Structure 1
Amino acid sequence: MSLTALYILCRWLHFGALMSLAGAGFYTVLLAPSRYRPHLSGRLRPLMVAASGVTLMSTLLLLTAQTGLMGDGWGDMLSAEVWQAVLNTGFGRVWQWQCLIALCGCLAWLLRGAAGQRLLLLMALLQLAGLAFVGHAAMLDGWAGGVQRVNQMVHLIGAAFWAGGLLPLVVVMREARGAAHRYDAIRTLMRFSRYGHLAVALVVLSGVLNSLLLLGWPPASFRLYSQLLLVKVALVAAMTLIALVNRYWLVPRFQRSGQRAQQLFIRTTLAEIVLAALALLAVSLFATLQPG
């Protein structure tokens, strides 16, 4: 495997794990009714523990891969001089904080109950915000750079709420089909649906603004970066269509069609998760390319 391929793979895993962690945290800290949160935290614990571990691992691997890419290849990943040079760059300084925050996210599991869940969500959101200070999101200077970074934070957090919340959505949907936690699960689903509209709108609008800031209008060229960006746009459009079908066609049929409509809702949500994973892969690919 080439270093570039390793970097792309680690970036894909990093985005997926971090968004899953934040998405689950939104449920256990904000969306679920207070009496339902301990139970839901237990149901989502395997997902959140795995996401915390993968986030820390991918954070360290991304720094290691970036060191090799900034040097002359695999050999420089063990060079103290290259590591020192990388850590003194803008990327290196930001990524040191990313490593520390990811470690704090794993240590948050030492805290029990609501305090640990709140700390997990906070660490995930801080890492998402920190991603706005590296890569293409940090290309511009001055007021345009400030707008770009804030816009990227909004984009990433909105995407974490939406895409990262899809797997927990399936878990809560299955809970709503049982008698024990049906009422609280339905309330949680309604809250996700309500705020999900805002998250989708923020993702779309911030994505458009970010493209305009990087590429201008009309774009001067249509190279591989723009082609992959168009693929991402198509995937997000398909996700949006599925979300609209779920909310405005399937949900009203829950009482009339019962288990059939609910099962179809779960299947379409799983399809949406696959599309989200492909969109993150496209992002991981064009992150290594020059905008154009």
Structure 2
Amino acid sequence: MTTFWILLRALHFASVMLLTGSACYSALLAPRRFRPRLAICLESLVKGSAWLALLSALAMLACQNVLMSGDSTHLAELDIWLAVLGTHFGVVWQWEILFSMLAVAGGLLTGRLREQVLLLAGVLQLTCMALIGHAAMRDGWPGLFQQINHALHLIGAAFWAGGLLPLLLLMRESRQIDRRTDAIRTMMRFSRYGHLAVALTLLSGVINSLMIAGWPLMWHDSRYIVLLLCKGLLVALMVLVALFNRYWLVPRFRLAGSGTQQKFIRMTQFELLLACGVVGLVSVFATLSPA
């Protein structure tokens, strides 16, 4: 059941990141005239991630019931459900499910309101995720600071990593003559603000690691520290790939016959794969004690 919990956590985190990253494009980054077309392009991705976030959130609540009670037969007992819902996790997760439902409902709307609701629902889900786990280990002002920092970390990561798959779809749109200018402008805006998202993710991640595990000189050999260092390595590789794409490949897009755009797609796919690895590692060491 613990393994199932880890898989559900990774699935939920990935789907919320994808929802938020996709909504950022159509709500904030795309030129106004291009937003309706981009919304159609990303519709399946957004609706799929919204539904996946809702279903995985419900499954995580049921999984928590089994983990707390120690028996799957207790899924039918009201007293156990009330006990789970009365915990800190249960209270926060009720809001998580509510915001997941908001995202699903937002997919039924149209126009600018649809994109705004989807983005808001994604950000609220990420904020709820920052209120549980290791980020909730402190009380008072230090605890509030840690949770705010973790929320910023998740939001920055969602803009960065959650925007990679939509970026690949935009590359396809840029091959259409009538959409090329708007698609490229959208991608350049993602690149520009992506610098801020990466910086926010790295800074908040360092702060979060220090608040949970302490100063590196005080670290000792444990599974948590090993996985944390592996995560840091994967993130560093993501940064290198992003820098290579932006400052080496993008300026060479206009060189005929260079195949630069195809190389950019391959490198972005590699960056997306690294992001999946980071999500998997986080889902594992989030269940471990840093001590």
**TM-score interval (norm. to shorter):** over 0.9
Q: Distance in 1 between matches of 2:191 and 2:265?
A: 14
Structure 1 unaligned regions, length at least 5: none
Q: Distance in 1 between matches of 2:230 and 2:256?
A: 35
DSSP 3-state at the match of 2:171? helix
Amino acid at match of 1:183: T
Q: Say yes or no: does 1:267 pair with 2:266.
A: yes
2:194 maps to: 196
- Superimposed CA distance per residue, residues 134-171 of structure 1 (whole angstroms, 9 cap, x where no aligned partner): 11111111221111001001100000000000001111
Q: Distance in 2 between matches of 1:219 and 1:271?
A: 34
Alpha-carbon distance, 1:132 to partner:
1.2
Q: Distance in 2 between matches of 1:259 and 1:25?
A: 32
Alpha-carbon distance, 1:105 to partner:
0.9
Q: Distance in 2 between matches of 1:259 and 1:77?
A: 59
Alpha-carbon distance, 1:258 to partner:
5.4
Alpha-carbon distance, 1:28 to partner:
0.4
Q: Distance in 2 between matches of 1:128 and 1:259?
A: 40
From 132, 136, 139, the counterpart of 2:137: 139
Amino acid at match of 1:213: M
Superposed CA RMSD in Å reads 1.1
From 154, 159, 162, the counterpart of 2:160: 162
Mark the CA change 1:122 to 1:140 in structure 2 (over 3 Å): closer, same or farther: same
Q: Distance in 2 between matches of 1:77 and 1:258?
A: 61
Q: Say yes or no: does 1:24 pair with 2:22.
A: yes
Q: Distance in 1 between matches of 2:256 and 2:57?
A: 45
DSSP 3-state at the match of 1:212? helix
Q: Distance in 2 between matches of 1:198 and 1:265?
A: 21
Q: Distance in 2 between matches of 1:144 and 1:28?
A: 36
> Is the contact between residue 148 and residue 213 of structure 1 (CA under 8 Å) also seen in structure 2?
yes
1:87 maps to: 85
- Superimposed CA distance per residue, residues 178-197 of structure 1 (whole angstroms, 9 cap, x where no aligned partner): 21201101110110010000
Runs of 4+ in 1 over 4 A off after TM superposition: none
TM-score, structure 1 normalization: 0.97
1:4 maps to: 2
1:182 maps to: 180
1:281 maps to: 280
TM-score, structure 2 normalization: 0.97
Aligned residues: 290
Structure 2 unaligned regions, length at least 5: none
